[in-house]
Homo-oligomer: A and B are copies of this chain.
Amino acid sequence: MKEKANEDALVERIQRVFRTVKSRSLILPAGDDAALWRPTRGHETILTCDWSLEGTHFLRHKHPADAVGWKCLARAVSDIAAMGGQPRCFLLSMALPAALAGRWLDEFLEGLRRASKALRCELAGGDTTRGERVLINITVVGEIARGRALRRSGANPGDAIYVSGTLGEADLGLRELRKARGVASASDAARRKHLYPEPRLDLGAWLAKTRLATAMMDLSDGLSTDLPRLCAASGVGARIEADSLPATTLTNPREAQALVLHGGDDYELLFTVAMKNVKRVPGSFRGLRLTRIGEIVRGRNVVVVNDGKAEPLRPGGWDPFR
């Protein structure tokens, strides 16, 4: 007799995998009607959620299950990094075809558990149901000292624009993975960045704590989509230099140039710094390159300067509605 045990059994299995992660502030983890969590005094709570849908955000026959597990949490945690905060706990909502409740689920949970441990973000609860495809929604709760959160809306004309790391590598990794046969492995840097992105938590926290950044966001949909969003939120324009962009060297310069502007999924940080503070921004932070790519300008135009010629920066990044 197949009975209500099915859903409860799945929940118990998820809980078992996460039992090894030590709790700091979770009073009542998964298993009751809801989770109970104790906020830190003097802190604000950061809330974010992210879809990871089979067919839209990952391909089941291309992406290893453990990478799906890692990335679904890492993507959401990147939004916490983008505010300068620290992740605390997460809720996992999952719909799963019955055929995947065995090995695929085990590998998925192992990737998720590794991310949970690495990012210090505990499982607090969730909701499971049946589905024809894998549907994942992750909610992450983070914290930041009161008044310190970095928003998209703080950029001022004259501010320098920076990005962390190298842009376009995750998209390059996706292209490689699409060309490859069967399930991909993280055999090179680009694929690794696509499969196992690392949210820039330390950099984000440092920029918030030092108050160096005036505005910040993470690059999830590509610079050409995300920079205009930051500019719109701040009511400003921007001028970036094509030559200064930290393009990947893992492919030919032509492909690298397209990828650096439009490649999504990098989860690097995009931030602005008042000109008087530019000298305080190091060339790299804990081994992560920081590159000045242009400046915030008056008006609403976002342009990219290429060979001395300024052209409008047209969004070419990833939008699921396109």
Contacts and interface: CB of A to CB of B under 8 A. Distances in A.
B320 A129 contact: yes
Contacts of A32: 83, 151-153, 217, 233
A41 B45 CA distance: 12
Contacts of A108: none
A225 interface: yes
Contact of A47 (B6, B10, B124): B124
Contacts of A110: none
Given A49-B126, A91-B139, A34 B82 contact: yes
Contact of A130 (B28, B56, B126): B56
User: Chain A binding site: helix, strand, loop or mixed by DSSP?
Assistant: mixed
Given A53-B95, A139-B139, A321-B6, A35 B46 contact: yes
Interface in A78-125: 79-80, 82-83, 85, 89, 91, 93, 95, 98, 124-125
Interface stretch (A187-195, A278-286, A311-319): A311-319
A91 B47 contact: yes
A307 interface: no
A243 interface: no
Contacts of A233: 31-32
Given A33-B217, A44-B36, A151-B28, A50 B127 contact: yes
Contacts of A141: 45, 47, 141
Interface in A131-185: 131, 135, 137, 139, 141-142, 144, 146, 149, 151-153
Interface residues of A, number: 74
Given A139-B91, A319-B7, A321-B7, A48 B35 contact: yes
B4 A225 contact: yes
Contacts of A35: 46-48
Given A3-B322, A44-B27, A8 B229 contact: yes
A49 B127 contact: yes
A20 to B, nearest CB: 21
Contact of A125 (B27, B48, B146): B48
Interface string A217-243: 110010001001100010000000000
Nearest to A81: B33
Interface in A190-224: 217-218, 221
Interface of A: 2-8, 10, 27-28, 31-39, 41, 43-51, 53, 56-57, 79-80, 82-83, 85, 89, 91, 93, 95, 98, 124-127, 129-131, 135, 137, 139, 141-142, 144, 146, 149, 151-153, 217-218, 221, 225, 228-229, 233, 314-315, 317, 319-322
